[in-house]
Structure 1
């Protein structure tokens, strides 16, 4: 093969057969979230680098190692978005949406970019979907978001679901907790990985995210954040749990779940599936009540979650062959005059009957066109050959039953009632 240009490592071409799955899930996502009154928001795929430095946190892996950033011809520092919450928050502030009404509920579907090691279900360009709610600080808003996340996957019959939930309190609470974590992990500093030693200085909470086995054992014996949070935050968390109990949504309280982004506060959660293996998170989210204020907006409570379509497809057992994609009609034309007639007829069928109509543009024989119609599993074939042209008719064949009828050209639309 010649020296062809290939796709970049960590990116994928989604070919037509596979894209049927993507279209199915994208439509399902939209339908599901719209039932809760959420509206779609779309933001640019690149933003000012400063947005992610201020929102995600300078010491996170995303910012320090994984962002695709550059300086453009106007000397602007730009970054392909590594996630969408920051972009949606920027849009919320810039468009002064808080002045239009007190509560805003959005969903999104869009590409994100991170230069991490490609592996199963994790790529450098990946498709995220999620929801964001601005305006309510009450636990019932947390319950709505978390129940939506869990019930979304439940409705798709994803197996082995596991909802893990925690509260990480306010900033004031976390300051005390962080100090206790430092004191605890300082005892094991020499045993920690180099990454965890850095985190011990910059943000000890991030050590709780470790995937290293011996560090996981240390984490299990570390102080719990629930013992450091205020009575108000404990009450918020308990009210949330009560609502989830009333909805019969199962959950596990994970005292060491903190999530990987610096903007989270109070409630954090993940929906996991054991069917994904070690990388088992389907989606994750939580509250970010300080973020809007930090980005220059008026202080606004907010909560949301983000998920990946790639991981959804991995966890799903849906076979692309089960998605209906059969053309309604395949028009077989055998001459120039037949081709002209076929184009006129095809457009009438598409726009007056809303049919999917396939036409051959390779000038193949009638036999080859019929074979192609079978391959595509067309429901009907409309055949326009010399005999049909002579009599101003067409032959309409039901490809399932084999029945074939002759109709005048002007009777075709009425045949398909």
Structure 2
């Protein structure tokens, strides 16, 4: 078997489709050996069928071709879908601006792989160096089941004279979207009947807890079982990051994505933007502050709002706010008044009525504590969520078996 040189991976695949395909990075043998024709045909058949991707075939289609996808170093090697921007970040006070679009590789055998390209405009050298180091660190978690994979990143010359450099990221796409768009904004709607909630396969039927005459506004957006599953997924990703003494800095529903199997994955790091916003948000006008509270500031721990030293505990506070939001459908704190928001956030005073009696209440209470030393860690959340998730599943299974035996 011939050994393929690393610099020519993508070009070889681009110029000669079906030849020179490389094994994934999980192969630990000498070099990267060429795949057999049988394996190449099987993978091509699974990924490309009529020019479209079958999302059900694999929750992470790009991870099977991580070597080829990771060799992309230019936007010219991608087909960009410019019809709709996934996210746009603009503003005079933003040190990092940019936008994200869907894309697929130009190589014929890779064109069914959904990817996301995100261009970040860094205004100065310091910001660029910090973000470059942050993305290099984030790329080391590639392949984790609960962390979004960053396959490649490179820099481009900016078109604006006020931008130092553009940093382009090539990420895998969450096939089912993010938690905000899937569950909170448009994915969940109340039925006109008994007040239960549904969103296809994503949201399970609400369990009957408490009185039947309870107001629909107090009912959870999703059932506790699905929320516990998301809590397990997010906690696993945070545990991997925190075990390396790294602060994520961007835990919120819009930065948590769902793969083709419905597994939650935390997105890219955001500590550089967090550090910049901490020192500049007091310069914002009332209008900018009002816009930033529901999108950013509501996920800040009290030590961030008070400009104190912070650690990994800020991620657990944001995790508690996120879990409350995806379970109830609204923020735990007031977001339309700055003074009321600060008073509630600094004292961790939030409405506990929607979560009373659910298995999520101890997690949310444990994460939303003013003292960082008293907050739950990702390990504690994972242990608790896994235990109660398993108990809930066993209870449902026993009920299922009992119904079958009764029908007989």
User: For the superposition of Structure 1 and Structure 2, which TM-score range results when normalised by the shorter chain?
Assistant: under 0.3
What TM-score do you get using the length of structure 2 for normalisation?
A: 0.27
Return the structure number with greater relative CO, CA threshold 8 A, min gap 6: 1
What TM-score do you get using the length of structure 1 for normalisation?
A: 0.27
* Structure (1 or 2) with the larger CA radius of gyration: 1
Higher strand share: 1
